[in-house]
Structure 1
Amino acid sequence: MIFRYPCPIFFLSLFFVRRGWASSQPWEQYVYSPKFRSVAPASVKSISGDAVILSDEDGYVLSMNSGSQVSLDFGVEVGGLISFSYNSTVSGGTQVSLAYAESPSFVRSISDDTGPLPNMDYDRALNVTFAERSGSYTVPRANFRGGFRFLTINALQDVMLSNITCEIGFLPAQGDLRDYQGYFYTPNDKLLNRIWYAGAYTVQTNIAPQNTGRFLPQVKPGWAYNASLGVSTPILIDGAKRDRAVWPGDIGMSGLTGFLAHGDIGLTAVRNALDTLFYYQNSTGQFPFAGPDTASFHSGSQSNTYHAWTLISIYYYAIHSGDEAWLNSKWENIKLAVDLITAALHGDDLGLHNQTQPNDWARQGGGGYNSALNALDYQALTSIASLGAEVWPRNSTRTKQASAWSAAAERLKASFNSILWDSSSGLYRDNQTTSLHPQDGNALALLFNLTTSAAQASSLSRSLLRNWNSIGPITPELPDTISPFISGLEVLAHLTVGEASRALELVRRTWGYLLDSPLMTGSTLAEGITANGSLYYRSTAGYAYDASYTSLSHGWSSAPTSGLTNKVLGLEMTGWKTWRFAPLAGDLSEARGGFRTGFGKFDGGWKITNGKATSVEAWIDIPQATSGEVVLPWKCTSATMNGRAWSGTKVTGGGRKTFVGHGCM
């Protein structure tokens, strides 16, 4: 085929159609990952000036006269190094420039910004010089580009380009990028399937090679991504395009997605991120606010909340990996970190942590006896205490530590409710001196069981709906913002208290927009949006009205992936070698899924059949040396497990367990 447009600008709209294949399983059609590391553009986005485009067996062939411009669409978010073959009428000097964009809104002659400036042209384009009249070219590794969907080629002289590819740089240890170790599927809702896999793919693009961090001070103009991200590779970072750094709060969400979707490699990437935080932990026990390739790290910024998130992520990693040797080697460092929290709690008669290091996820306010911080502290104390008690039950020193941390957590919970609960609103206050009712503090309190009764939990869940608009919750602590990170916590919170229909409505509303808005990549999940859905996230809170700076592939936005697996399917790790199977159907009638841990593979599913009497069939396949409980939400006149009458919850021993219920409601 040939496209030719003389000088005026014309735009060619080509719809990307995903490659068809014979799926061995129905969920494989939702995987966004390219199968091969070398990826060719899927279509032409636009053409400007005098250019002819042909296609051959190697992809597009671009015959471009000086001043022309061609924008190519890879169909999904990609990242790595661009290569192509070239033929030119001259040698030496700059021949073309390359510009990268995640959103269709920023396909242009310059690249998305990776440094927030008001004029929005920080990165500009990468100039390419050909040494000979013909040959091949690959972008230098220092100019690695972590996240983009569109590549715009600007011809500065007459040139012909062919064999244009992107060598994928993320998930460096995996050959077949589509070979997930976890899955989720429901035949009832294609959107939920797409959202699960968009979360999985987002985190996949955030699993990076070690030396692809942002070099500081940044190149001006341009970019360099050749700094060390941490202690080893691969490593889990916050975003594909930027910041490309280890951030503990992000790991608290993206780590779960990594475990559930990507198994062993997800566990490795999280471990390397955590090892980086351990490496930079200071003598007081304080974990760093961020990884070594960030301005926050170089300025010495610290964060009470991200310190707690690090401990929570350590817990999640431990129960999914079963890596007792690693946990034992880190225990003294973990103890220092936990003791830093308990010292803060004991330092005030109120029994809460006074927030003196307010650096956080971008929220405004903070400080005082902050509800989000104290909810995170509570989860850090209870989760790390459970590890000490469960992993080493015969170690008296560690069980005493665990007992003391658990007691501190219970005192915190009592103070949290007496000081911060506002019964008139059905919500917790941001701190003891404000009337603000934050989304983060309330979602975390609900998620981590800070409420004291089912009635209080129900009131809180219902009250959070007051923040919702047509595309999601507007967070009070960062006005004009919908945060998929904090809204993801809210999704998990609603699920935790059994409000499945409410949670699924939020998932469809917000993540449906993140996936299907024409502003987005159509394959990955954005860092954040404004209340009306624009990309001007954090415009007055650090991003200087620079919409192209907003990351469109940010792992902290992937909560629905873990929510659908752990709560809707209902299969989750709950402690050291322990699990729970407790489905939440909502408006679905069938779901199945699974994931791989250090203990082995977990698989499960359930199906509701409506006939003269409703029947339910559920099943799990679990590793040996684990134990758990099965809590089926349906009340049935009769139920069996593996063909025998069953009415309990505790399940021991591995293998397949099948549950059948009749006369259910």
Structure 2
Amino acid sequence: MLVTRLSQWLALSTFALLTAANDDSKPWEAYINSPSSRHIRPRSIKAISGDAVIHTSPDGVYTLHMKQGSQITLDFSYVGGLLSMTTSTSESVAENDPVPHFSLAFAESPAFIRAISDDTKAVPTQDYDKALNVTVAAGSQAYAMPRERFRGGFQYVTIHAFRSVSISDVVCELGYTPSQQNPRDWEGHFWTDDDELLVRMWYAGVFTAQTNIAPPHTSRWLPQVVDGWAYNATLGVEGPMLLDGAKRDRAVWSGDLGIAGTTAFLGLGSVGLESVYYALETMFYFQNETDGMLPYSGPTTGSWRKGSKSDVYHAWVLVACFNYAIYTGNETWIDIHWDNITRGVEYVMQRLDNDVGLAEQVYDNDWARLGGGGYNSALNALNYHALASLASLAADTATERNGREQQANDWSAAAARLKTAFNTVLWDESAKLYRDNETTAGARLFPQDGNSLALLYSLTTSREQSTAVSEALTRNWNNIGPVTPELPDTISTFISSVEVLAHYAADQPGTALKLMRRTWGYMLESPLMTGTTLVEGMSANGSLAYRSMRSYNYDSTYTSLSHSWSTGPTQALSFKGVGLEIVGWKKWIFRPQPGDLKSLETAYMSPMGEFEASVQFSDKGILGWLLDATLKTPKGTSGTMDLPFRCKTVTVNGWPVSWQKPVTGGGVKRILGVGCDAPQT
């Protein structure tokens, strides 16, 4: 009876897969937030006040007839770049007349629509960017914003008329991802029929990263221009570059790359990898020649001018190097930059050269958290992953001539010693969490970052310990997300991105999905946000007063609403939910953790070739749960199937296999599991 039912199910599921393969529908394309053109007109009128009339042509072009004192706000959806328009006025302005014809003010959030722009300079006096005043000649004239007034990210433009003027055909020339002729041309996708919110957050993550990929010479000048802004500073090494935020700071921040780089790769493929390449080239260019330390940030930031350094962000760069290497499979790049990587790892090795086996945090600059210092848990978790992952890369690319085999052994041994010390020095059995550090104050702080990173990078020593840490982290949650202990009254979308990945690492997909729906769902639905991009951070009550007590000076307009370090769900849903993840040098793993999702798929493009996976789960009663998955991986790669649930039988392309089995070669593989345990929800 079992054989008959199984045969029937196999026949039906094969037909379903073949039907899907012949269906050209791509429902996920409706969720791509990018326009198809690099020249964008406003999509609607958000607000109008005073004596103003708007005419709309049949093709949707607005003409604004504005009298003195009137004001109109245009809604572009989310864009970034430079505006151009046609103006017409009969009023000429004398050369020494201080009153312009009109002004342009920019805002990301609808909460900050006004005649002055939202802020890119957090100061106690609330010194906003003011607005860009525009004076034009009489008659009909073409006007374009000066290149130095580039505006990296905005949704709304408010035009305030100081004199009578008509303005027509307002167009934004997009600045982000300058390599793309068609900004909608994304190379990756994710889809599930079961939860539209998850689809929206995957695409919001990619769009956020896309808006953070800047053309050269569009970084923010610091000190900032008084009563305005200038965004024509050099970002670093010439080329489109992945930055921290669209509006600000518009600079490479090393720590952001660990999340943002993967998001850019998954969604944008070659364009995303290009932006990571130039970001890493900038880090290498400015690497300290004496000790090998990698920069904390890009050369236009205030931190750069102050000579700030960061042990934590140094480790994040090494993590980003490993990710870039395995996502591209580019051995030439590895050979060119192996000396940079080696010097970076040796910096870590020197910090670990003590009786404890952990690195002491000398430079405590980080993502704005409080505390730190000592044998900091977040720092050492990152050091562990950098050592372990780069040791594997050294081993996999070792030859008789390059000497990497010995490096692999040394780095791997240091990582193993670090892991032992990490659990000896920092684990608190009563709290079921790791301490911030070993000091008196640090021993009372159980940080979100250190514990999330410890879970994600496998510093726990048992499944039970991992489950306990995952459960303990949820004690920080309020109704919209984790209030991080290391920065009171703050929900960090960066560290919460790491926490999402951490719950998957602990085999708790239900917890990860709950966190994504709670925190990222709020970001997508809140009237304070854009609905298409992801915010830098929030206060505990969901307001934009992020980091108010930590240098942002209670200036909510300063907070960035498109910040690529907040995009962890994109990585989580593709790599962990669907479960097809590149984990090493031309190595991947298939480990689906669908939680309460029954059908999901993803695809992403690497220089090695396309990675694609679709997963279907169904409950067939006495048969137990049925898994039907199809994988497509590039030739020259190999992988491992590691199902986090047991099945009575598993076949790969019709051949019975163990439920944990290496899978050699690339190509298409059909995985069928019968009598499986119910997925963990």
Q: Structure 1 length normalisation: TM-score?
A: 0.95
Q: Does 1:533 align with 2:534?
A: no
CA distance in 1 between partners of 2:356 and 2:385 (Å): 19
2:109 match: 103
Kept in 1: contact 2:579–2:593 (CA 8 A): yes
Kept in 2: contact 1:144–1:226 (CA 8 A): yes
CA distance in 1 between partners of 2:676 and 2:297 (Å): 50
1:7 match: none
2:119 match: 113
1:10 match: none
Alignment of 1:603-622 (within 5 A): 603-612=612-621, 613=623, 614-622=625-633
2:52 match: 51
Q: Does 1:60 align with 2:62?
A: yes
Kept in 2: contact 1:318–1:576 (CA 8 A): yes
| Cα deviation digits, residues 36-86 of structure 1 (max 9, x gap) | 1111111111111111112112521111001111011112x2100111111
Q: Does 1:627 align with 2:629?
A: no
Q: Does 1:322 align with 2:329?
A: yes
Cα deviation for residue 29 of structure 1 reads 1.1
1:652 match: 664
2:451 match: 442
1:172 match: 178
| Cα deviation digits, residues 572-610 of structure 1 (max 9, x gap) | 101000001110010000100111112111011110123
Cα deviation for residue 633 of structure 1 reads 3.6
1:73 match: 75
Alignment of 1:532-611 (within 5 A): 532-611=541-620
CA distance in 1 between partners of 2:304 and 2:525 (Å): 35
CA distance in 1 between partners of 2:430 and 2:648 (Å): 41
1:246 match: 252
1:30 match: 31
Cα deviation for residue 565 of structure 1 reads 0.4
Q: Does 1:385 align with 2:391?
A: yes
CA distance in 2 between partners of 1:92 and 1:577 (Å): 65
Matched residue of 2:101: which SS?
strand
The amino acid that maps onto 2:478 is N
Percent identical pairs in the alignment equals 52
CA distance in 2 between partners of 1:335 and 1:663 (Å): 48
Residue 423 of structure 1, aligned match among 415, 429, 443: 429
Cα deviation for residue 640 of structure 1 reads 2.2
| Cα deviation digits, residues 214-236 of structure 1 (max 9, x gap) | 01221001000000111021100
Cα deviation for residue 393 of structure 1 reads 4.7
Kept in 1: contact 2:259–2:564 (CA 8 A): yes
1:13 match: none
Matched residue of 1:473: which SS?
coil
Matched residue of 2:553: which SS?
coil
Most deviating of 649-658 and 478-487: 649-658
Alignment of 1:265-280 (within 5 A): 265-280=271-286
| Cα deviation digits, residues 107-129 of structure 1 (max 9, x gap) | 00100111102233420000112
CA distance in 2 between partners of 1:562 and 1:443 (Å): 15
Question: Which ranges of structure 2 fall in alignment gaps of 5 or more residues?
Answer: 1-22, 95-99
2:88 match: 87
CA distance in 1 between partners of 2:377 and 2:193 (Å): 39
Most deviating of 605-614 and 451-460: 605-614
Question: How many residue pairs align between the two structures?
Answer: 642
Matched residue of 1:566: which SS?
helix
Residue 299 of structure 2, aligned match among 270, 286, 292: 292
The amino acid that maps onto 2:627 is V
1:357 match: 363
Matched residue of 2:209: which SS?
helix
CA distance in 1 between partners of 2:37 and 2:613 (Å): 30
1:192 match: 198
1:407 match: 413
1:502 match: 511
CA distance in 2 between partners of 1:149 and 1:207 (Å): 17
Kept in 2: contact 1:580–1:630 (CA 8 A): yes
CA distance in 2 between partners of 1:253 and 1:593 (Å): 18
Q: Does 1:306 align with 2:344?
A: no
Question: Which ranges of structure 1 fall in alignment gaps of 5 or more residues?
Answer: 1-21
CA distance in 2 between partners of 1:344 and 1:219 (Å): 40
The amino acid that maps onto 1:651 is V
Cα deviation for residue 463 of structure 1 reads 0.5
Matched residue of 2:219: which SS?
coil
Cα deviation for residue 184 of structure 1 reads 0.4
Cα deviation for residue 643 of structure 1 reads 2.4
CA distance in 2 between partners of 1:144 and 1:467 (Å): 40
Matched residue of 1:54: which SS?
strand
Cα deviation for residue 338 of structure 1 reads 0.8
Cα deviation for residue 354 of structure 1 reads 0.9
Matched residue of 1:540: which SS?
helix
Cα deviation for residue 191 of structure 1 reads 0.1
Cα deviation for residue 530 of structure 1 reads 0.3
Matched residue of 2:233: which SS?
coil
The amino acid that maps onto 2:626 is S
Residue 647 of structure 2, aligned match among 626, 636, 652: 636
Kept in 1: contact 2:82–2:172 (CA 8 A): yes
Most deviating of 384-393 and 481-490: 384-393
CA distance in 1 between partners of 2:394 and 2:93 (Å): 65
